[in-house]
Structure 1
Amino acid sequence: MEDIVAEANWDLFRLFFVVARTGSVNRAAQILGMSQPTLSRRLKELERYTGAPLFFRASSGVKLTQEGEDLRRSAGDMVAAFESFQRDLRSRVGQRSSVVRISATEGLTKHWLLPRVRKLRDVNSRVYLEIISTVHQQGVAASDLDFVIRMGDPGENELIGKRVASVPLGIFASEGYLAAHPAPRQLSELRDHDIIGSSADFAGLRGERAGQMQLMTHFHAAADVRSVLRVMPIANHFAAAVEGLGLALLAVPFALAEGLVRVLPQESTSMNVWLLRRRESDLRKLTRDVRRFLESEFAKSRSWLSGEHRPRRPARRKSDM
């Protein structure tokens, strides 16, 4: 008893149009990457579904029957529309595949990530970076992000990744401010100085090692008494300190890069830096390459991120003079 095809799927029509276009089952099988017997069997399934022969054999290959010609004409627009859809889809996917979207804090963006963009482009000229610079945690799914470089709590459970650095925080001021206000010699003297920000700005900070909580306790107390300015986002605390408005609690490597002076250098707390991503990001080779690049660069710059070395200003090119 002959098998009955209850429903023809699109694949059968796709195979039919390749055979109709080439006029040969053998050539069509080669193009499709399948065996000639398998293709012949699939064509018979379509003929059983339509209830009519679609091809007859000729010396040069195969010819369409009247029913086959009718099928080719009636479904031609559908095939053309599908091929157009495939071209558009490949184009859109290809464009997105060259884009890598990263969210990072303002300090990390300015002082760590942007200085490495040219090197990344030299390694892979295809990559197009979109960087969202914000202190706020970005929703990965909603923002279609590939990577999140986050300081402090790693946050969302759907992200994977690892801790790539630890950044110390210390108290900084401008040379101008310290010329008018002698630097504190101990934590208790913070109450005698103008403080940038309020204690609420640092509520999320927690000392990770014994003794670090002492800095946070004294700085919070001083901010409650002598806060002269609250400016958001917190990245603007760097600019406020540069303007000589008071003492600020800042990430050590970024504050040194801004030319600020550290006071009470023996006192510090720290925050972990996390490089996070979605599991799906690893499906794209370009994203995997960017991840390896970022991990390698974080490993190379751990000493700088720890505040052990002052940043060296890049040499000026002749074209800049």
Structure 2
Amino acid sequence: MPDPLNTLEWDDFRLVLAVAEQQGLPAAAARLGVAHSTVFRRLGQIEALLGTPLFERHRTGYAATAAGEEVAALAARMQGEITELTRRLAGQAVAASGEIRVATSDALLHGLLLPVLSRFRAAHPGVRLDIVTGNAAANLSRRDADVAIRASEAPPETLVGRRAARIAWALYGIAGLTEAEAPWLAPGDPLSSLPAAGFLRRHVPAGRIAARLDSVLALAAAAEAGLGIAHLPCFLGDARPALRRLAPPETALASDLWLLTHPDLRQAPRIRLFLDFCAAEIAGLKGLVEG
């Protein structure tokens, strides 16, 4: 009979290690960039495959059993060896070159990504960037783009990538405007799927809408000009001196920031390099992105 450990994949070991180190599913899911339900389901499958529980469930979290400690220790050794090998190979790798077509929104580009892309180009001048902005999601299967950097609660299952951060949204306006009396700025039809658009449809009478705008960047500019108040990503609102938060960030309006590519491209050196670079840079900006 085959050894059950031999049927596990590296991602399974990473999952067990994350749960053991974080002592809970939500924090482990955040580290892995996947949904809480995915960690719960896959952990159950791993335990069933091995025929033994790896964790004891307590009200305060997850504690590794003796078997769980062994699997987590093995995963930690594997991770160390992979990291060492990666460092060695990186020293031998040919410099990445070629073109990367990047699809994103104007708000993400102007409010967050331009300095990141500038630093990437400085570090890797052999890579040319072709940047496409718009609210419509690019079709990576048709090669409309090589990489998509998007806010989404449910990225297409045909793509692969990682969740880089959670984008916080809050209500903003210039000094003197209040939520109770000020006119509102609403996302236009191209942005109708945003949670902020749904909030306005449910809670704000049409008579209080001063204007509708078809991009989040335009919403921020209009709010800064005093046209009305608007829900904005915190990385946009907080960066504009004329705006102030009128309320704390609203959890229901938040969305995940994803770095996505097509499975056929993820091992291309320039794509892998770009995704890893952006993920590390955005991790350093989490305080700004997450409000």
Q: TM-score, normalised by structure 2?
A: 0.60
**Alpha-carbon separation, structure 2, partners of 1:163 and 1:109:** 17
The superposition leaves residues 119-166 of structure 1 with CA deviations (integer Å, 9 ceiling, x where unpaired) of 112221101111111122111133441111110234322211121100
Q: What amino acid is the match of 1:301?
A: L
Distance 1:158 1:305 in 2: 26
Larger Rg over CA atoms:
1
Matching residue within 258, 262, 272 for 1:288: 272
2:100 corresponds to which residue?
100
Match of 1:230, SS state, is: strand
Pairs within 5 Å for 1:46-61: none
Which amino acid in 2 is paired with 1:240?
Answer: A
SS of equivalent residue, structure 2 residue 213: coil
Matching residue of 2:140: 140
Distance in 2, Cα, partners of 1:244 & 1:234: 16
Aligned-pair CA distance for 1:247 = 0.6
- Percent identity between matched residues is 22
Q: For residue 101 of structure 1, report the CA deviation from its aligned partner.
A: 0.9
Counterpart position of 1:264: 247
Name 1:193's counterpart in structure 2: 182
| Secondary structure of 1:245's aligned partner | coil
Aligned pairs for 1:237-248 within 5 A: 237-248=219-230
Q: 1:291 to 1:301 in 2, by over 3 A?
A: same
CA distance in 2, matches of 1:105, 1:249: 17
Structure-2 change in CA distance of 1:164 and 1:104 (3 Å): same
Q: Structure 1 residues 101, 110: CA separation in 2 closer, same or farther (over 3 Å shift)?
A: same
Structure 1 residue 222, shift from structure 2 partner: 1.7
Count of residue correspondences: 194
Taking the aligned partners of 2:155 and 2:250, their CA distance within structure 1 comes to 27
CA distance in 2, matches of 1:266, 1:232: 22
| 2:235 paired residue number | 253
Deviation readout 1:4-48 (Å, 9 max, x if unpaired): xxxxxxxxxxxxxxxxxxxxxxxxxxxxxxxxxxxxxxxxxxxxx
Does the C-alpha gap of structure 1 residues 223 and 231 become closer, same or farther in structure 2, counting only changes over 3 Å?
farther
Q: For structure 2, list consecutive stretches of 5 or more residues without a partner in the other structure.
A: 1-95
Matching residue's letter, 1:228: A
Alignment of 1:114-133 (within 5 A): 114-133=114-133
Following TM superposition, by how much is the alpha carbon of 1:299 offset from its aligned partner in structure 2, in angstroms? 1.6
- Give 2:287's aligned residue: 303
Are 1:170 and 2:170 counterparts?
Answer: yes
- SS state at 2:264 partner: helix
**CA drift at 1:106:** 1.3
Instruction: Note closer, same or farther for the CA distance 1:202–1:280 as it changes in structure 2 (3 Å cut).
Output: closer
Counterparts of 1:212-251 in structure 2 under 5 Å?
A: 217=199, 220-251=202-233
Q: CA deviation at 1:248?
A: 0.7
Cα distance, 1:287 vs structure 2:
1.6
After TM superposition, list the pairs within 5 Å mapping 1:58-69 onto structure 2: none
1:225 maps to amino acid: G
* 2:98 partner amino acid: S
Residues 201 and 234 in structure 1, CA contact (< 8 A), matched pair in contact too: no
What is the Cα deviation at residue 219 of structure 1?
A: 7.2
TM-score, length of structure 1 as denominator length:
0.55
2:168 touches 2:249 (CA, 8 Å); kept in 1? no
